[in-house]
Structure 1
Amino acid sequence: MNILRYFCVWIIAFLWLFAFLTPSVNACSCMPSHPQTHFCEADYVIVMRVLRKSHRLVKDHLAYKIEIKKSYKMTDAAQNILKHGRLSTALSESMCGVNLEVGKLYVVAGRGSKLSLCNYIKEYQKMTIIERRGFSGAYRKGCKCKINMNFGGRVVEKSDSCNWSPFKKCETDFSLCVPLVYRTPEGLISQCHWRKTPPYKACLADP
């Protein structure tokens, strides 16, 4: 790796971690996560349409009335939270508030009744085909694999995980970390790896 590029990556990583670890009552900071991690750790994963929003229903919050179009994952607790079709968020982005547009479809992987910038929230039309397939079921197959964040330093390969950087668009948008089982003289071995989907291969060829 080019020394200058390596140095810049670590400076960015340091600033990111510093912002995350430094407490502040007026700032929003979240560690980045791969979409698959959002799916696996969420209490619910839904496709929803925003019907309307209001500043009056919840004090110091913006309330969204939503219609759930599809449910890809839902715990019993999440089902109880979402049964009235309402979610809320902080009023400002500095407090991790999320501004959604009425009438648009979003995919949300969340916990609890409050939305934040730390959740996975993306307009459905802007998702890649791999993200859509992932949230509809493919990511579930990789939930036994851990996705480790790496900013370009020394990489330690582990059989139960994949290494990932938030700067790597190909792995983020076009791949998923799933176990691959293969036979060896010692028996069957499971190894987590980035699935080489056609869009992933195309991205690697022309990053």
Structure 2
Amino acid sequence: MIRLDKNEISFPDPEIYDGHEGIIAFGGDLSVERIWFAYQHGIFPWYNPGEEILWWCPDPRFVLFPDEIKVSKSMRKILNRPTFTFSENKNFRDVIKNCQEVTRKGQSGTWLSDELMMVFIQLHEYGLAKSVEVWQNDELVGGFYGLQIGNVFCGESMFAKVSNASKAGFIHFVETHKNELELIDCQSHTDHLESLGARMIPKREFLKLLRKNNEHR
């Protein structure tokens, strides 16, 4: 692995450098400029708070093509009822805070550090990060956030306080924006997103799509 220089925003080319189990570099910093540069090149930070920053570009890559989204009959019934309402960028801070605090099955802690959370809040203020909120009786019960890079949405984290909230929000988001989004980057595999149609593709294919997206922005 390559150690990054805090004074220089650069990364190994993920197309020719595989690193170790998807980790292509460590160190550096969490500046807005570095985070934005990294995501444009298919790289993202993922590490335990208090430990060295690790930068990833896994092979294969877990993604969802909007026209491949799967909606079960039970979820379609939920979406057709007034169970939830949805919004975008209405409460980014509360969404990311809940992503940090709400416990998930099989997880004892969070990877989302306070420092990284503040960087994404800054990215949101610059119009680069967005949130999707799911409401029930005017209460925030689910949502997710990520970076929008042209026609690619890089999903970061989601939370749910009631059953099906995050799933409903994700489906609503994809179906609302399917004509303008080419790809949703889910980064690493989850059963939750696989059930909605996300699948693995080779890293080189993902980077090719990302590069094409960057050229046409």
TM-score, normalised by the number of residues in structure 2:
0.29
Larger relative strand fraction: 1
* Larger RCO, structure (CA 8 Å, separation 6 or more): 2
TM-score, normalised by the number of residues in structure 1:
0.30
Structure number with larger C-alpha Rg: 1
